[in-house]
Chains A and B, each alone.
Chain A
Amino acid sequence: MKVLELKNVHKIYNSSDIKVHAVNGITLDFEQGEFAAIVGPSGSGKTTLLNMIGGLDIPTEGEILVDNTDLSKLKSSRLIDFRMNNIGFVFQSYNLIPVLTAKENVEFIMNLQKWPKKKREKRTLELLKAVGLSDRINSRPSKLSGGQQQRVAVARALASKPKFILADEPTANLDSKSTETLIEIMEVLNKEENITFIFSTHDARVVKRAKRVITIEDGKVLTDLRN
Chain B
Amino acid sequence: MRCLKYFENNYTMKNYKLAWRNLWRNRRRTMITSASVFFAVFFALIFRSIQTGSYGYMYTNAIESYSGYLQLQQEDWWDEKTIDNTFSYSETIEQLLLKDENVEATIPRVESFALASNGSTTKGVMLMGIDPDKENLLSDLNQKRVKYRITPEALEKIQGNDLFSEKSKEAAALFVGSSFTNEERLLLDLDIDIEEADAFLPLLKKYAHYDAEVIKLGEPGVWLGDKLAQFLELEKGDTIVLLGQGYHGASAAGKYKIMGLVKLPAPEMNSRVVYMPYDIAQEFYNCGNNLSSLVIHLNETDDKSVRKTKERLREPIPQHSRVVDWKEMNEIMIQQMEADNQSGILMIAILYMVIAFGVFGTVLMMTAERRREFGVLVAIGMQKKKLASIITYEMIYIGLLGIALGCLITIPLITYGTHHPIIFKGEMAYMMEDYGFEPKLVFMPVSYYFLWQAFIVGLMVFFSLIHPVRKILKLKVVTALRA
State whether the Cβ of A99 lies closer than 8 Å to any Cβ in chain B. yes
> In the complex, which residues of chain A have a beta carbon less than 8 angstroms from the beta carbon of B384?
76-77, 80
Q: Are A54 and B379 in contact (CB under 8 A)?
A: yes
A51 to B379, CA, bound (A): 10
Q: Does any Cβ of A come within 8 Å of B336's Cβ?
A: no
Does B409 sit within 8 A of A, measured CB to CB?
A: no
Q: Which of A105-113, A180-188, A204-212 touches B?
A: A105-113
List the A side residues contacting B24 at CB < 8 Å: 99
Q: Mark B365-397, 1 if CB is under 8 A from A, else 0.
A: 000000011001111111111100000000000
User: Which of B24, B372, B373, B381 has the largest number of chain A CB atoms within 10 A?
Assistant: B381
How far is it, in angstroms, between the C-alpha of A112 and the C-alpha of B379 when the chains are bound? 13
| Residues of B contacting A111 in the complex (Cβ-Cβ under 8 angstroms) | 11, 14
Other-chain contact of B381, A81, A97, A117 (Cβ < 8 Å) = A81
Question: Which stretch in A59-67, A83-91, A169-177 binds the other chain?
Answer: A83-91
How many chain A residues sit at the interface, stated as a range, is 20 to 34
B25 closest partner in A (C-beta): A99
Q: CA–CA, A108 to B390, complex, Å?
A: 14
B90 on interface, CB distance cutoff 8 Å: no
Contact B21 A99 (CB under 8 A): yes
* Contact call B382/A80, Cβ cutoff below 8 A: yes
The residue from B8, B21, B372, B379 contacting A83, defined by CB atoms under 8 A apart: B379
What separation, in Å, do the CA atoms of A80 and B380 have in the docked complex? 8
How many A-B contacts if CB must be within 8 Å?
A: 66
B477 within 8 A of A: yes
B382 and A117 contact, CB distance less than 8 A: no
Among candidates A57, A77, A84, residue contacting B380 with C-beta atoms closer than 8 Å: A84
- With beta carbons under 8 angstroms apart, the residue of A88, A91, A112 that contacts B382 is A112
Tell me the B1-29 residues at the A interface (CB within 8 Å).
5, 8-9, 11, 14, 18, 21-22, 24-25
Query: What residues of chain A lie closer than 8 Å to B376, measured between beta carbons?
Result: 89, 91, 95
Please give the distance in Å from B216's CB to the nearest CB on chain A: 81
The answer to whether B379 and A99 touch across the interface, beta carbons within 8 angstroms, is no
Contact between B380 and A109 (Cβ–Cβ < 8 Å)? yes
- The answer to whether A95 and B478 touch (CB under 8 A), given A80-B383, A89-B380, A112-B382, is no
A156 to B379, CA, bound (A): 13
Contacts of A57 in B (CB 8 A): 477-478
Contacts of B373 in A (CB 8 A): 95, 97-98
Q: Does any Cβ of A come within 8 Å of B456's Cβ?
A: no
Contacts of A84 in B (CB 8 A): 380-382
- Given A77-B384, A95-B373, A98-B25, the answer on whether A56 and B379 have CB atoms closer than 8 Å is yes
Residue positions of B touching A, CB distance < 8 A:
5, 8-9, 11, 14, 18, 21-22, 24-25, 372-373, 376-386, 477-478, 481
- Give me 20 other A-B pairs in contact (C-beta within 8 A), A56-B379, A57-B477, A83-B381 excluded: A54-B379, A76-B384, A77-B384, A77-B385, A80-B378, A80-B381, A83-B380, A85-B381, A88-B380, A89-B376, A89-B380, A91-B376, A95-B372, A97-B373, A99-B18, A99-B25, A109-B381, A112-B11, A114-B11, A117-B8
Cross-chain pairs A/B with CB under 8 angstroms, 13 sampled? A85-B381, A88-B380, A89-B376, A97-B373, A99-B21, A100-B18, A109-B380, A109-B381, A111-B14, A113-B381, A114-B11, A116-B9, A157-B380
Q: Which 6 A-B pairs have the closest CB atoms?
A: A84-B381, A99-B21, A95-B376, A56-B477, A57-B478, A56-B478
